[in-house]
Each structure stands twice: as structure tokens, then as C-alpha cells.
Amino acid sequence: MESVIFSGNSNPLLALQISKLLDKTLGKVEIIRFADSECRVRIEEEVEGKDVFIIQSLVNPVDENLMELLLMGDAVKRGEPRKLVAVLPYHGYARQDRMHRPGECLSAQVVARLIEAAGFDKLITLELHNEAIIGFFKIPVIHLSGLSVFRPMVEKMKKDVVIITPDAGALKRSQQFSEGLDLPLAFIEKKRDLDQTHKILSMRVVGEVKDKIAVIVDDVIVTGGTLVNAAHLLKQKGAKQVIAMATHADFVGGADKILQESPVDKIWVTDTIQVPPELQFPKLSIFPIASIIASTIQKMVK
Ligand code: R5P
């Protein structure tokens, strides 16, 4: 089946890597802004009867990137493709997957509706904050994990490793990772201040970490607060080394400094989100994710 891959502006490098692995060139698209910042999109490829993939991470600036995705979707749909697939290496708005306090919006559901309304037939995404978000979609969702790219590194140092769940929401993910490698699991109980964004009130470790290499498994790093607090606690409890792995690095300014100066010894992320050079730091390693996404697309267009 003939296919076309388009890239939004959120992570063009990743889109290019994916298209190269698929032996294709990226489809031509014009994305410009009116003087008042409104986005204007024009697809410059023939898409009729083809399978079309639009690659866009819903990363900061999230609203801009979301709108770009929706408008690209609409532009393609008008060209009557056989199938239109949204490829979101990072799915933003995912942490608002339930009403944490009375009166709140259910952002993850609103975004799911918008993606469907724009005409997408299918979604491919990675390491959702909470898998339950899939239930907000009527279209099929392929949910991939990026954690397998770190597995060989953990396998190499398997002795003395304990996998750490950094909060209740991350349990299933870290459980699967630890079971896959037959490693023990410890748990951090994290309480957040629901009236303030990114504020942690308390943390407590449940499980044995003394003289162990503690490997924290998370979906995303934003301010770095979760990791820094967890690393302090794990070292206090006798962990000899703390390594943090997360599929998405949605760093905000300042995260680079606090992570580099923290007791976390190594931080491993993938490139679902492009980390600009000014936010990279010596403890950080970035693992390529393109092959996981490319092989999924490959299977669909065969
Ligand atoms: C928590 O709910 C998430 O899984 C991450 O642990 C969290 O979003 C990371 O954010 P930050 O780096 O700001 O603590």
C-alpha cells in the first residue's frame, strides 16, 4: 500500500529518522502563521487512496503543537486518504486523565475527541501516562513502550539492581519491566499537592534498596522534582547508585541544572521529545526511539 509520512514542527528530526528507516522522504507540507499567530496548513502531496501518517509530539508549546496536528489532519482528510494515522511519540495532556479535584476538566478525553474530530482513523503513541486514556478513544490505539531501548543496559548490570516505581501511577509499567528481567521491585509512595502544579508533599520508600543499584522507571521527566526527591530518599536508605529512565524528556528550564546537581547518577531518556542542546547535561543519555515507531508503521503499510 502506498503511504505518505508528514511531520509537524514538534520533532522534525525524529520524523526524518523514521522516514529514513522506512526508505521514504517526508511529505511536503506548508505550515505558516498569520500575523495574529493562527496556524495555516497546506498539504503539498497527493494523498488520495494512500495511508497517511502524521508525526507530532504534543510537547511544549503543547497547544500550538496540538492545533498543528489537528489542522494537518483536516488538510489530509480532505484529500481522501485510505487511512489517516496520528503518530504521537509523546501524547500531551495525558496527566489530566481523571478529575483530580472536583470541578476540573478531563483534558485527556477532550484531546481524544479533538483528534477523532479532525478525522484520524488510528493513533500510534508511546508510554502513555496512564493506559486508561486509550478508553477515551473510539478509534484504535496502538500503545507502544519505549522502555525496551534501555533493557540491554539494565541486563548488563543485572546483579544488585532493584527496579523502583516512583509513584502509584507508574506501578504497572515498572512491574512489567522488572518481571521481564526477573528483578526485584520497590515502591515509592508519593503524595502531590493537588492545589499546586508539580509540587510534591511527601515520599516514602517501601522495599529493600540498601547496597542496591536503584533503577527508577518513569514515563516522563518534566521539572525533575520526582527524580531528585526519589534519589535523595533512595540514597538515604542506602542505595549505592541511582539510575533514572523515562521514555519522555519534557524538560522545563532548570530541570537540567537540578538533575545534574542531584544524587541521581545517570539519567536515560529517549528522543520522543527533542531535548535542545541547552537543556542537555553530562548525566543525561538520549536513546534513539525511531526504529520502534518505524517498525510499527512498516507492519501497517505492508
Ligand atoms: C507523575 O505523575 C509522572 O509519572 C512523572 O513522575 C512526573 O510527571 C514527572 O514530573 P516532574 O519531573 O515534574 O516531577
For 81, the grid coordinates are 486518504
In a domain, 281, yes or no: no
190 is catalytic: yes
**pLDDT tens per residue across span 173-191:** 999 999 999 999 999 987 7
Out of 190, 191, 266, 302, the active site residue is 190
**Mutation test of ligand 1: which of 126, 130, 196, 219 has the most ligand atoms closer than 8 Å to its C-beta?**
219
pLDDT of residue 198: 66
Residues 3/52, Cβ–Cβ less than 8 Å: yes
Is residue 203 within 6 Å of ligand 1 at its C-beta? no
Residue 16, domain CATH? 3.40.50.2020
In a domain, 283, yes or no: no
8 and 142 co-located in one domain: yes
Is residue 225 within 6 Å of ligand 1 at its C-beta? yes
For 290, the grid coordinates are 525511531
In a domain, 117, yes or no: yes
At residue 76, does pLDDT exceed 90?
Answer: yes
58 and 136 co-located in one domain: yes
**pLDDT tens per residue across span 81-96:** 999 999 999 999 998 8
pLDDT of residue 292: 98
In a domain, 277, yes or no: no
DSSP run (H or E) holding 219: strand 213-221
pLDDT of residue 89: 98
In a domain, 74, yes or no: yes
Mean pLDDT over 102-106 rounds to: 92
pLDDT of residue 100: 83
84 and 151 co-located in one domain: no
**pLDDT tens per residue across span 29-55:** 999 999 999 999 999 999 999 999 999
88 and 171 co-located in one domain: no
Tally of domains in the chain: 2
pTM metric for this prediction:
0.93
Is residue 257 within 6 Å of ligand 1 at its C-beta? no
In a domain, 279, yes or no: no
For 206, the grid coordinates are 517501601
In a domain, 97, yes or no: yes
Range of the domain at 16: 3-146+291-301
pLDDT of residue 284: 98
200 and 112 co-located in one domain: no
Q: DSSP per residue over 170-195, as a string?
A: GHHHHHHHHHHHT--EEEEEEEE-TT
Angle between helices 107-117 and 62-77 (to 10 degrees): 30
Mean pLDDT over 89-116 rounds to: 93
CA distances from residue 101 to 108, 146, 198 in whole angstroms, order as listed: 15, 30, 15
pLDDT of residue 167: 82
